[in-house]
Amino acid sequence: MTKEDCKKVVLDIISDIAPDEDVSNVKPDVRLRDQLELDSMDFLDIVMELRKQHGIEVPEADYMQLASLDSSAEYLTPKFNELGK
Amino acid sequence: MPTPGGFDNGFDGVEFHGPTELGLRLGRIGVKGGGIASATWRDGMRHGLAGHLFDGGDDFQHGGGITRAEIVEESGAGRGELIKDGDVRAAKIVDMHVIAQAGAIGRVVVVAEYLERIAQALGGVDGEGNQVRLGIVVFTDLSIFGGSGGVEVAEGRETEAVGVRERFERVFDIELGLTVGIDRRLGHRFGDGHLGGFTVGRAGRGEDELFHARTVHATQEVQGGGDVVEIIFERIGDAFAHVGEGGEVHHELDLLFAENLPDLLFVAEIRRIEFHVLRNRLAMTIDEIVEHDGFVARSDQLTDTVTADVTGSSNNKNVHFQSVVLLSCHDWLALFLLIVMKRTRIVITGVGLTAPNGNSLQEFRQNLLDGNAGVGRMDIRYMGEQLAGICDYDALRYQKKKEVRVGTRAGSISIYCAREALADSGVDFDSVEKDRVGIYIGCTEHGNVETENEIYNISQFDYDTKYWSHYHNPRTVANNPAGETSLNLGITGPAYTIGAACAAGNMGLIHAAQMLRLGEVDFAICGGVSESIRTFGIFAGFKSQNALATHEDPNKASRPFDTDRNGIVISEGGALYTLERLEDAQARGAKIYGEIGGYHVNSDASDYVLPNPTRQAECVRKALQNAELEPSDIHIVNTHATATPLGDIQECEAIRAVFGEGCPDTSINNTKSYIGHCMGAAGALELAGNLPSFDDLTVHPTINVDNLDPKCDLPGLVLNQPRKVAKVDTILNNSFGMLGINSTLIVKRFVP
């Protein structure tokens, strides 16, 4: 999985948990919370969906890695690849 | 136990207890506009008090007295302190001028020693230069007046008071309202026709005898709420009672009330009188009095307590004594508190609803008149297809998609109904003070839907709880529907649910009316909601109970009173109303659907699921009593009947017991025959379905009655076709629930 693929995975999840948001123009290098209406519970949703849909665990200490699309991809892509995805 | 309450201009909660030295506990007093806030007086004044009015009181009798008292006024009225040490006689009132300056003279003024000081402080005008008028004055220890020229007190003989009231008024340059006196030195009457006082006499009597059996129960003395009325007992005349020669207690209450009550009626609506008095004789006297002038009285006469609900009318006004509390306490200290409030009229000004056959009152009503039921089929987890009343309101009209995703169905229904009701009410919601709005939503249950969903969810993950939603708790807390509504509307006042099984819808309205009367809120959104069809448990439960309806035609499945009825159709829905005090509604020119006429709630205390016709009938009767109506005054009885074989018969039994044959103008119907059982929403929705009858003078029928069960054959039943009637002035709505909770709500046509 490439980092671009990974961003798409994260964006798909976000579009589900923030259905009122237009995610087509999310800037990858800007914090998600600065451009979308996301709160801490929503981030827990992202973590939960990664777990449910992809079997990926994000420990609490690493939540900050999900701040932006870029940082998410940086953090998650190796995890996807470890799982052989 | 703090007593809830809240009246503008008065006492907010009063509780008395303490068996030996009759105690008084004032929860919070005088929230707005005057009086004492946060007062506590308990344990017979013998012990330290939890901090408010009388704090640290030691022992009145032996001079411990009030050591510290605070008169605290919320709402900016000010603050006064009454501090003393050792003896109430040494009490001082300080900072009373603060109260005066705040323009809200305390309804209770504890007068101790320093009359002049108080006079100085009060100055006769309030902070805005208005003439000060005291609502209630409590004199403690009138012997002090002797020292200041007021009353001459001498033990053991009748003493003429020297115009305490006059003096007080002159000194303060104020007009006294109700004046209540406490004479420390026993055996003396004061007032002399001027001061409405009460004197505890001991002349010729032993202390023990006089204060015998002063059992006062912890009682919520004040309930129902409402504004304190400026009642001026101009002709309070002679004292309530006084002790004459030989210790004979004289009663002049009848005279007092007979002479003064008619005048009072001009200025007040008073609903309840509660007397805690020293002896039966006085109680009986009071009992007699309330029957004066055609007033209907009801009393529960206890050993030394009489509670009288006084109702009646005069001068074309409904008149009520809301709560007059007189209590006697110490053997040398008799304290009378009179709390007089008017019974506030509460009106319905907006309706928002979603039912299985309509998403607005107009649509719902039309379908009820046209005979259109709204039962469908729904796939229920683990059970397959079941009959259900399903709502199809547009959730996204008032919620974002994310709110729908994160929230609950019950929350969504609540939001829809609340928004619709607000829109219907025409209130300028932006200008409404959000902290003065209450949300009171009745629920059958809450949380089952979300819990079942989560269990199902983790079952897909081998029951690993790390897949359990972090939304589970906010979704399943019992206040969820009200809480979501508060979030959606930005309402910061009290928002909570009322769990009352299938009686809950009525309860939402009843509770809101109470809170409005108490002055806790100025605007209420209330009613009931149910999301029950989203949980398999309720279906499975009723099925196990053999109480789930089946029929090949879903719209014929819910058939109360029909011989072929075979159980309940489970439905979802909601109906929320906006309720306001009449004067508020009128001030903004609101459309008024009807007025809360009366209500009652009681419990069977007999079975988990089986209804109890005796208690149901009792509930209906007491609601009628509360509304000051006779059974024959009721024009529509909307039944609770759910189409269970036994339940319908039992309710009919209860209704027959109350309404019998002598109610030719009473029509009886049932709304569940269209929409099934909307559980927590049932009472509220069914009321809504009948409200338009005030205007169209049509009673919607009970449908699906092909063969009327003879045991359900009540006079006045409206079957299958709407009935035009000559008048609809009253609707009585029954809703009963499991564990034996019964609620009856009466709504009256609004007559200005």
Q: List, as one string, the DSSP characters of A19-57.
A: TTS--TT--TTSBHHHHS---HHHHHHHHHHHHHHH---
Where does the pLDDT of residue B657 fall: very low under 50, low under 70, confident under 90, or very high at 90 and above? very high
Asked if A18 lies within 8 A of B402 by C-beta distance, the reply is yes
Rounded Cα–Cα distance for residues B252 and B182 (Å) = 17
Task: Give the per-residue pLDDT at B343.
Answer: 55
Chain B, residues 375-404, CB within 8 A of chain A, namely 400-402
Given this model, what pLDDT does residue B660 score?
86
Distance separating alpha carbons of residues B364 and B369, to the nearest angstrom: 9
List pLDDT tens digits, range B559-599: 999 999 999 999 999 999 999 999 889 999 999 999 999 99
Q: Is the pLDDT of residue B383 over 50?
A: yes
Give the ranges where B477-605 is alpha helix by DSSP (H): 480-489, 504-518, 536-544, 582-587
For residues B289-309, give the mean pLDDT.
Answer: 30
- Name the residue among B632, B629, B600 with its Cα closest to residue B616: B600
Rounded Cα distance between B306 and B287, Å, is 7
Separation between Cα atoms, residue B342 and residue B9, nearest integer Å:
12
Residue B541 has pLDDT above 50, yes or no: yes
- The pLDDT, as a whole number, for residue A84 is 82
Q: Do A17 and B402 touch (CB under 8 A)?
A: yes
- Over residues B593-616, the mean pLDDT reads 95
| Through-space distance between the first and last CA atoms of chain A, rounded to whole angstroms | 6
Instruction: Give the C-alpha separation, B338 to B705, whole Å.
Output: 55
- Distance between CA atoms of residues B675 and B557, nearest Å: 10
Residues B690/B700, Cβ–Cβ less than 8 Å: yes
- pLDDT tens string B661-708: 899 999 999 999 999 999 999 999 999 999 999 999 999 999 999 999
Summarize the confidence of residues B407-426 as an average pLDDT: 98
Tokens of B183: 């004479």
Residue B312 scores a pLDDT above 60: no
- B465 interfacial to chain A (CB closer than 8 Å): no
Decide if B50 touches A, using CB distance below 8 A.
no
Strands (E), B355-508: 375-380, 384-389, 437-443, 495-499
The verdict on a CB contact (< 8 Å) between B402 and A51 is: no
Reduced to 3 states, what is the DSSP secondary structure of residue B425? helix
Cβ A48–B470 below 8 Å, yes or no? yes
User: How many CB contacts within 8 angstroms connect chain A with chain B?
Assistant: 23
- Reading the block at residue B321, the tokens are 């004594």
Gap from A18 CA to chain B (nearest CA, Å):
6
Q: Which residues contact B343 (CB under 8 A, 6 or more apart)?
A: B224, B226, B269, B270, B271, B318, B320, B322, B517
Compute φ and ψ for B23, nearest 5 degrees.
-100, 165
The three-point CA angle B189-B190-B194 to 5° equals 135
Please tell me the pTM assigned to this model.
Answer: 0.65
DSSP line for B187-211 = S----TTTS-------TTS-HHHHT
Q: What does the block give as tokens for B439?
A: 């949300």
Nearest chain B residue to A17 by CA distance is B402
Q: What is the pLDDT, as a whole number, of residue B686?
A: 97
Token couple for B699? 């009673």
